[in-house]
Amino acid sequence: MNFNYSERMQGIKASEIRELLKLTEQPDIISFAGGLPAPELFPLDHIKEIAYNVIQDQGKSALQYSATEGYPLLREIICEQRIKGNLDNPSPKNILITSGSQQALEFSGKLFINKGDVIICESPSYLGAINAFKAYQPTFVEVPMDEDGIVIEKLEEVLIKYPNAKFIYTIPDYQNPTGITLSVERRKKMVELAEKYNIPIIEDSPYGELALEGSVNPSIKSFDKNGYVIQLGTFSKTFCPGFRIGWIYAHEDVLQKYIMIKQGADLQCSTIDQRIVAHYMEKHSLDDHINKIIEVYKKRRNTMIDSMIKYFPKEIKFTHSKGGLFTWVELKENMNSADILREALEEKVAFVPGASFFPNGGKHNYFRLNYSNMPEDKIIIGIERLGNVLKKYY
Amino acid sequence: MNFNYSERMQGIKASEIRELLKLTEQPDIISFAGGLPAPELFPLDHIKEIAYNVIQDQGKSALQYSATEGYPLLREIICEQRIKGNLDNPSPKNILITSGSQQALEFSGKLFINKGDVIICESPSYLGAINAFKAYQPTFVEVPMDEDGIVIEKLEEVLIKYPNAKFIYTIPDYQNPTGITLSVERRKKMVELAEKYNIPIIEDSPYGELALEGSVNPSIKSFDKNGYVIQLGTFSKTFCPGFRIGWIYAHEDVLQKYIMIKQGADLQCSTIDQRIVAHYMEKHSLDDHINKIIEVYKKRRNTMIDSMIKYFPKEIKFTHSKGGLFTWVELKENMNSADILREALEEKVAFVPGASFFPNGGKHNYFRLNYSNMPEDKIIIGIERLGNVLKKYY
């Protein structure tokens, strides 16, 4: 048995890092690795009542096959509650329910990328998106970022150089992995560039509702009058990731293509999970719940930043994210964060080395820290231990 | 806005039939179109208790991210309860949980097919599989069937003619759309051919547990000592499709590749749904539930067959399926079942025209009837109406 797999499988490889990170499942590990929300905040009492009632009152339809597009009430409530102040007046017809944002990323690869096509992303970018796109064998062109997000002049240079580029992929709000937020001015500019160069923007915004200070900037999509922005949303960070419910918000013509892809890919998302999420939002305030999350994450972020200031060598730079789940650490250029991870794991601390966030590789002196999934006491201990590992190199 | 989509999107088209079948959602339509199980049989009382308890007792993990491979207990119970008597002693390491079998089909396309590659299937074959594979731009080679399933001599001719064919796709048990079952002898032969020509068999078996008379034949996988068979299973027909829980059962080396694809595609299936299905099977007998389904479907199938004998023109041939959900109707060669559908819809009766089940097109004189989703009184009325439409042509 030695099967002849497709060529694309060469780009889909088991990650050495993933194997290392399996160790983080041990209970005694202090893990800053995943992008996991805090499960102690899940509103279990409300969810269990709603699950029970949905099955009791509408079980015959809630456990049956249903429309590929998604549960109509859920699509409505997403428009009413989660998407606000947009120029194109979104309706449920602009919404497709997906299995988390990850599936929307995979579909975007399928929709746009032929082998060898250029796609444009931030440098660094989300590793799950990079993996999803890689299956379609694109050429990644990375555009540098500064503290206001992707550098627009550099983006336009790339658009001029690669007129056939298929899309711009961006995470504008509290970016994964850097925590950086794109400025309002650049958001407007990005839509202008999309129109000028006739290229779609895939705006991935899983963290936009998690502003830990001030308020989030208006979405890129909110400036889009003419359907150039495809926005991806999810309940994984604001509610519960276990439901695997996200959505694509796009111009109806574009959405039709995503719907056809969804039909071939898995027919539809879980009928029952869609209904639980919709009825939760109908009966309770998700905004109130998000405010509770923000309160907790804010403390955790502050604790992490304070601990990094206290325990990390002074020369180490890191981002002070204003929202979301992550901070991003830069080591000396000759250092490799994968080696640091091996040492840190011996001290029972985990994080994600930065190299996987650069689609074209080559940068080993960064790593990502998550603060949403650990209580404050463990954050202090973990950062102290990590500081001790790092001090050996400074 | 006029985006440059990927080439593969040319194969992913909105189906005219799908638009027609949207009409079947009207409550006054008697629909023999879908492959929907009977929702009045869903064990709602048990499921609502289990859902409530899972959220109450294990909510923090049941609503969190979880392993791509699937919930360990679910993988174990699938091995213990749903896969029996196989030569390769399956363990949970051979099981990946997928979003229904549809996702396993999509992944199989991704894993094996380069543009232009030959894949081999029965003629006719399942239209959802055809659509999933089409996204990867294969060349379909159809092999004829008789009343014992795919004709093995013809299959071997094809394997000789196309030595680089990527896989054989088959639905051996109560096939969709024909209802035909592959004989035991041919199952053994098929494994021999797979070994001889070093080609994987994708054995799609959503209906194997729904034997309406006698018992189902041993699976193709049960004869596979050396990992040539990739078997797809699902709870969509034996439990509830709304959970979107299926599985791939394959040699560990092959399964690893599917797991990597799953990770990029949507990270994992719904954590909560996997747990509900697992704990249902832990606490209650799914076999007993399946026996109840069989009792009801048997009556419905008998009613449909009896009505067809009574109301259809005598010249019309159709299959007498021994299990599953479908019967397959053959009209005169010059007839087009899509035209018949239009007339039938005026009489408030729906079915699926057969052309979509032939990947290379060209055969318009067939259609598929489903008997699992309609009560007996409606089956009688619907078949009588359909008979009246058909009589105009005979």
Distance from CA of B309 to the nearest CA of A (A): 31
pLDDT on residue A27: 82
Same domain as A210, residue A79: yes
Distance (Å, whole) CA B358 – CA B141? 10
pLDDT on residue A89: 81
Distance (Å, whole) CA A199 – CA A70? 27
pLDDT on residue B150: 98
For residue B115, give the CATH number of its domain: 3.40.640.10
pLDDT on residue A17: 66
For residue B382, give the CATH number of its domain: 3.90.1150.10
Contact between chains at B102 and A2 (C-beta distance less than 8 A) = no
Same domain as B255, residue B107: yes
The DSSP code for A323 is: B
Domain final residue, candidates A257, A283, A309: A283
Of A36, A199, A271, the CB nearest to B64: A36
Of B4, B64, B166, the CB nearest to A242: B64
Distance from CA of B388 to the nearest CA of A (A): 30
Count A/B contacts: CB-CB distance under 8 Å: 243
Of B9, B117, B270, the CB nearest to A111: B9
Domain final residue, candidates B283, B301, B327: B283
Asked if the C-beta of B89 comes within 8 angstroms of chain A's C-beta atoms, the answer is no
Residues A134, A138, A139, A143: is their CA dihedral positive or negative?
negative
Asked if the C-beta of B166 comes within 8 angstroms of chain A's C-beta atoms, the answer is yes
Q: Is B57 among the domain residues?
A: no
Same domain as A32, residue A12: yes
Contact between chains at B44 and A60 (C-beta distance less than 8 A) = yes
Same domain as B167, residue B33: no
Contact between chains at A242 and B51 (C-beta distance less than 8 A) = no
Least Cα distance to A178 among A328, A356, A305, A318 occurs for A328
Same domain as B386, residue B241: no
Distance (Å, whole) CA B243 – CA B238? 12
Sort strands A349-350 and A30-31 into parallel, antiparallel or unpaired.
parallel
- Within chain B, residue ranges assigned H as helices are 16-22, 44-62, 72-77, 100-112, 127-134, 152-161, 184-197, 252-266, 271-283, 286-311, 337-346, 376-391
State yes or no: pLDDT of A362 exceeds 90.
Answer: no
Residue B201 pairs with which residues in a beta bridge?
B168, B229
What's the ipTM?
0.96
Q: Is A59 among the domain residues?
A: no
Q: Is B5 among the domain residues?
A: no
pLDDT average, residue stretch A209-231? 95
Distance from CA of B273 to the nearest CA of A (A): 8
User: Which residue's structure tokens are 């959970």?
Assistant: B243
Same domain as A251, residue A111: yes
Range of the domain at A375: 7-43+288-391
A283 neighbors A50 (Cβ within 8 angstroms): yes
Distance from CA of A108 to the nearest CA of B (A): 10
Asked if the C-beta of B160 comes within 8 angstroms of chain A's C-beta atoms, the answer is no
Asked if the C-beta of B279 comes within 8 angstroms of chain A's C-beta atoms, the answer is no
Same domain as A303, residue A154: no
Contact between chains at B2 and A266 (C-beta distance less than 8 A) = no
Q: Is B1 among the domain residues?
A: no
Domain final residue, candidates A224, A255, A283: A283
Same domain as A252, residue A157: yes
Q: Which backbone phi and psi does B214 adopt, to 5 degrees?
A: 65, -155
Reading the block at residue A146, the tokens are 């500064």
Same domain as B308, residue B165: no
User: Which residue's structure tokens are 């560990």?
Assistant: B252
pLDDT on residue A240: 97
Residues B76, B77, B78, B79: is their CA dihedral positive or negative?
positive
Number of domains in chain B: 2
Q: Is B28 among the domain residues?
A: yes
* Those residues with Cβ within 8 angstroms of residue B367's Cβ, 6 or more apart along the chain or in another chain: B328, B329, B331, B337, B340, B341, B351, B352, B353, B354
pLDDT on residue A87: 72
Q: Is A48 among the domain residues?
A: no
Distance (Å, whole) CA A169 – CA A125? 9
Q: Is A52 among the domain residues?
A: no
Same domain as A341, residue A306: yes
Distance (Å, whole) CA A247 – CA B351? 31
Same domain as B157, residue B114: yes
318-377 in chain A: CB under 8 A from chain B: none
pLDDT on residue B126: 96
Contact between chains at B4 and A112 (C-beta distance less than 8 A) = yes
A179 neighbors A319 (Cβ within 8 angstroms): yes
Asked if the C-beta of B278 comes within 8 angstroms of chain A's C-beta atoms, the answer is no
State yes or no: pLDDT of A19 exceeds 80.
Answer: no
Asked if the C-beta of B286 comes within 8 angstroms of chain A's C-beta atoms, the answer is no
**Mind listing the pLDDT tens digit for each residue in A294-329?**
999 999 999 999 999 999 999 999 999 999 999 999
Q: Is B251 among the domain residues?
A: yes
Collapsing DSSP to helix, strand or coil, B122 comes out as strand
Q: What is the pLDDT along chain B (394 residues), one digit of tens a residue?
A: 789 999 999 888 766 666 666 777 788 999 999 899 999 999 999 999 999 999 999 999 999 999 999 999 999 999 999 997 777 788 999 999 999 999 999 999 999 999 999 999 999 999 999 999 999 999 999 999 999 999 999 999 999 999 999 999 999 999 999 999 999 999 999 999 999 999 999 999 999 999 999 999 999 999 999 999 999 999 999 999 999 999 999 999 999 999 999 999 999 999 999 999 999 999 999 999 999 999 999 999 999 999 999 999 999 999 999 999 999 999 999 999 999 999 999 999 999 999 999 999 889 999 999 999 999 999 999 999 999 999 999 9
Same domain as B319, residue B348: yes
Reading the block at residue B103, the tokens are 């996702």
pLDDT on residue A13: 75
pLDDT on residue B20: 67
Of A4, A61, A103, the CB nearest to B166: A4
pLDDT on residue A16: 64
